[in-house]
Amino acid sequence: MVKDMDEVQVRARRIRLILMDCDGVLTDGRIVLLPDGDDIKFFFSQDGQGVKLAAQAGLRTGVITTRQSRVLARRVKEMHVHHLYQNAEDKLRAYEDALRREGLTDEHVAYIGDDLPDLPVMRRVGLAIAVANAVREVKEAAHWVTERPGGRGGVRDAVELILKAQGKWDEIVRRMSASESPRR
């Protein structure tokens, strides 16, 4: 869903920090609770690769979630995420902390969300992005809505949008292609 693609491109060029929710954005929203208190989450490899590519392109990344999960802590470490806020009942407070730590203003931040707790941050950032399966209110607050749903490529769609707007995507693809071994 595109609202005003020219405006989205202008906003995307300013982004220096990409923040996102976890459940329903980095995952498909399913949470399996285990008897020992841990949980199981389903992450999509293309989303993870997208987060890594953002970091390789010089962007900072972070996750703000209202839940606590050791699985998420492990996953963000694998993806080289710079900021992790768990148990963030007040997502706006976590957002403001990330802004302060990075020395950025609202216009330099993109946020990817899917549900009502994401709205306060989405209303502040320079580029608000909703995944395709987000609730109606989040889609209405977003500057852009991904083609793919959360946990199934929505984060990757958002990262690609930003990197293409900044003119970094083609170089990343060239670099990745050059690092492959020749086929025999």
Please spell the DSSP secondary structure of 10-29, one letter per residue: HHHHT--EEEE-STTTTB-S
Element (H, E) at 71: helix 70-78
Residue 1 pLDDT > 90: no
Neighbouring residues of 135: CB distance < 8 A, sequence distance ≥ 6:
114, 115, 116
Question: In this predicted model, what pLDDT tens digit does every residue of 90-128 receive, in sequence order?
Answer: 999 999 999 999 999 999 999 999 999 999 999 999 999
Of 109, 145, 141, residue with least CA distance to 126: 109
Residue 184 pLDDT > 50: no
Residue 59 φ/ψ region, left for φ over 0, alpha for ψ in the -120 to 50 degree band, beta for the rest:
beta
Determine the average pLDDT of the residues in 157-182. Answer: 89
| Mean confidence (pLDDT) of the chain | 94
3 state DSSP class of 2: strand
Q: Looking at the chain, how many residues does it have?
A: 184
Which domains are assigned to the chain? 5-168 (3.40.50.1000)
Determine the average pLDDT of the residues in 125-144. Answer: 98
Token pair, residue 73, equals 């802590």
Q: How many CB atoms lie within 10 A of CB 158?
A: 30
Q: What is the pLDDT of residue 164?
A: 98
Residue 158 pLDDT > 80: yes
Question: In this predicted model, what pLDDT tens digit does every residue of 23-74 receive, in sequence order?
Answer: 999 999 998 988 988 889 999 999 999 999 999 999 999 999 999 999 999 9
Of 106, 55, 60, residue with least CA distance to 83: 60
User: Longest Cα pair distance anywhere in the chain, in angstroms?
Assistant: 54
Q: How many CB atoms lie within 10 A of CB 174?
A: 10
